[in-house]
Amino acid sequence: MTTAAVARHRTAMSRSSLSRPLATAAADQLLAPGSSVFDYGCGRGDDLRHLQALGYAADGWDPAHRPHAERQPADVVNLGYVVNAIEHPGEREQALRGAWDLARQVLVVSARLTWDARNLAGRPLGDGLITRTGTFQKFYEQAELAAWIEQSLGVQPHAAAPGIFYVFRDPALAQQFLASRVYRYRPRIKIDPHDLYETHRDRLAPLLDFLNEHARPPRSGELPPGQQQAIQEAMGSIGRGLQLIRQVTDQAHWENVTAQRRAELLIYIALSRFGRRPRFSQLGTTLATDIRTLFGTYQSACEQADRLLVACGDPAMIMVTARSSKIGKQTPSALYVHRTALGELPPVLQVYEGCARVLTGTVEGANMIKLSVTQPQISYLHYPRFDRDAHPTLAAAVTVNLRKLTADWRDYSQSDNPPLLHRKEEFLSSHDPRRALYERLTRAEYRAGLYEHPERIGTLKGWQETLSAVGVTISGHRIMRGASATKAKVASSGQVGARAAADAR
Ligand SMILES: C[S@@+](CC[C@H](N)C(=O)[O-])C[C@H]1O[C@@H](n2cnc3c(N)ncnc32)[C@H](O)[C@@H]1O
């Protein structure tokens, strides 16, 4: 087949919801209300319709499907799965540059990854292959895609998710995005009863939130004007509002918030070493003020952050820190932590995990993170039924090897014997409200003798065999014995039958 016979237009598919790159950008708050979006290589235009329905000023161009549309600048430009479909490397780069030229704030570039191609048959052509439907597909490694974007545009892209990168026009916006990716943990705040505070609680809420997020009072202009005015009207001044908040809260809380915010900033600054660390003048005002308030100078913060980065590259330090972590479940080779508890990990381990996210971005659906202590490797695990099932099974895993700079995906959803979890409470924060329920079940499982052979229960089949050997079943988060186990079994198989019948309708 000559390249002229490649059916590029056929790569465009119909979409019933926003495409993953645009949904990711929306989740990352890059599509501010009212922003303009241009979809470069928009295919049949389904994303345009969804964006317009959401109230965005959206337009797009596609050489096959909307060839006469004008290519125009926009706040956000999307180049969604276009580069895979172009067989000439030079034209691929032209498309990337063409899209970048139109982006006023951010370009979202996405491409299919080599792991998508595992079961795809095709004939090799150039650096890709021709599929059975006659389309060309060039599949990328995550690191290869990042390097190609940077080489072509001369700007460092930031991984949003596997196969999705953001390229920011304004370095301050890029840094704001990176700083926002650090996991955040705040202790619960206790407010003492106070009549005046109660009267103005709602008006003071934005001030309390700002203090709690930044560990410092806002400067003039950092609160939205309406909110600032409401506080001034109620209290006379922002300073009086601050005084009242201090009066009804505990000093120890604010010391804790300061320590947390300092750690977040250090983690962000450590990770900003990948690529080029920004100059202080390239940071947005709020971020720069946080750093100056909590560290005195940017240089001092950078020195402390570099020490953190060096520690994170030391396997012995990772091992010792992981072993003494109060958060997460320990196994001989790793520390496992639920996503919601990551912000409570020691900073060295957060930087370790952050290094993997520099490469992959956010792995969709990953709710359990495995930090290996025997090799530089982080895995993002997807347990879709973590909350619902007492012993949820693994559906998919993305493993990042920090030495080889590779990201690999493995699907367990079709496996008849996937890994499964026990003792779910151990993955969670000590303050997590789910812990009590999970702990009760674990105690009952111990008493029933279900953990006597830990080597047998790590996968679904071994666990099911252990349950039937002991003569119990699990219903919800409760253990059922003997006759009640049999009853529950019958009841739950009845439920499954009823569900299957309902599904078939
Ligand atoms: C896989 S589709 C993706 C369509 C859409 N962005 C989406 O995500 O649904 C690839 C699209 O790239 C378009 N395309 C091919 N060559 C292009 C080029 N040089 N510049 C822009 N788009 C191109 C094709 O016409 C096709 O519609």
Tens of pLDDT, residue by residue over 463-479, are: 999 999 999 999 999 99
Residue 190 covered by a domain: no
pLDDT by residue (tens digit) across 343-359? Answer: 999 999 999 999 999 99
Q: Which residues contact 81 (CB under 8 A, 6 or more apart)?
A: 11, 19, 21, 110, 111, 112
On whether both 262 and 330 belong to a single domain, the answer is: no
| Atom number in ligand 1 closest to CA 11 | 1
What pLDDT is recorded for position 121? 81
Residue 174 covered by a domain: no
Q: Which amino acid is at 29?
A: Q
Residues β-bridged to residue 382 = 396
* CA–CA dist 28, 317 (Å, integer): 32
DSSP 140: B
Query: Are the beta carbons of 241 and 221 closer than 8 angstroms?
Result: no
On whether both 355 and 368 belong to a single domain, the answer is: yes
What pLDDT is recorded for position 2? 40
Give the Å distance between the CA of 352 and the centre of ligand 1: 37
User: Which portions of the chain are predicted below pLDDT 70?
Assistant: 1-6, 8, 11-12, 482-505
Q: Which amino acid is at 222?
A: E
> Domain containing 335: what range?
317-411
Nearest to 41 by CA among 90, 89, 102, 130: 102
Give the Å distance between the CA of 39 and the centre of ligand 1: 10
Query: Are the beta carbons of 181 and 159 closer than 8 angstroms?
Result: no
Give the Å distance between the CA of 62 and the centre of ligand 1: 6
Domain final position from 359, 377, 411: 411
Give the Å distance between the CA of 132 and the centre of ligand 1: 18
On whether both 482 and 358 belong to a single domain, the answer is: no
On whether both 289 and 342 belong to a single domain, the answer is: no
Residue 426 covered by a domain: no
On whether both 75 and 155 belong to a single domain, the answer is: yes
Query: Are the beta carbons of 441 and 176 closer than 8 angstroms?
Result: no
pTM of the model: 0.91
On whether both 350 and 268 belong to a single domain, the answer is: no
What pLDDT is recorded for position 13? 72
Q: Whose CA is nearest to atom 10 of ligand 1?
A: 82
Phi first, then psi: give them for residue 81, nearest 5 degrees: 55, 30
pLDDT by residue (tens digit) across 420-461? Answer: 999 999 999 999 999 999 999 999 999 999 999 999 999 999
On whether both 344 and 482 belong to a single domain, the answer is: no
- Render the burial of 406-432: b for 16+ CB within 10 Å, e for the rest: ebbbeebeeeeebbbbbebbbbbbeee
Residues with CB under 6 A from ligand 1: 8-9, 11-13, 15, 19, 40-43, 62-65, 80-82, 85-86, 91, 95
Residue 485 covered by a domain: yes
* CA–CA dist 455, 280 (Å, integer): 52
Residue 422 covered by a domain: no
Give the Å distance between the CA of 81 and the centre of ligand 1: 7
On whether both 117 and 14 belong to a single domain, the answer is: yes
Q: Whose CA is nearest to atom 23 of ligand 1?
A: 41
Give the Å distance between the CA of 358 and the centre of ligand 1: 27
Q: Whose CA is nearest to atom 12 of ligand 1?
A: 82
What pLDDT is recorded for position 5? 61
* CA–CA dist 456, 462 (Å, integer): 5
Residue whose CB lies within 8 A of the most ligand 1 atoms, among 14, 82, 140, for a mutation test: 82
Hey, CA dihedral for 412, 415, 419, 420, is it positive or negative?
A: positive
Q: How many domains is the chain built from?
A: 5
* CA–CA dist 401, 407 (Å, integer): 6
Residue 10 covered by a domain: yes
Hey, CA dihedral for 423, 426, 429, 430, is it positive or negative?
A: positive
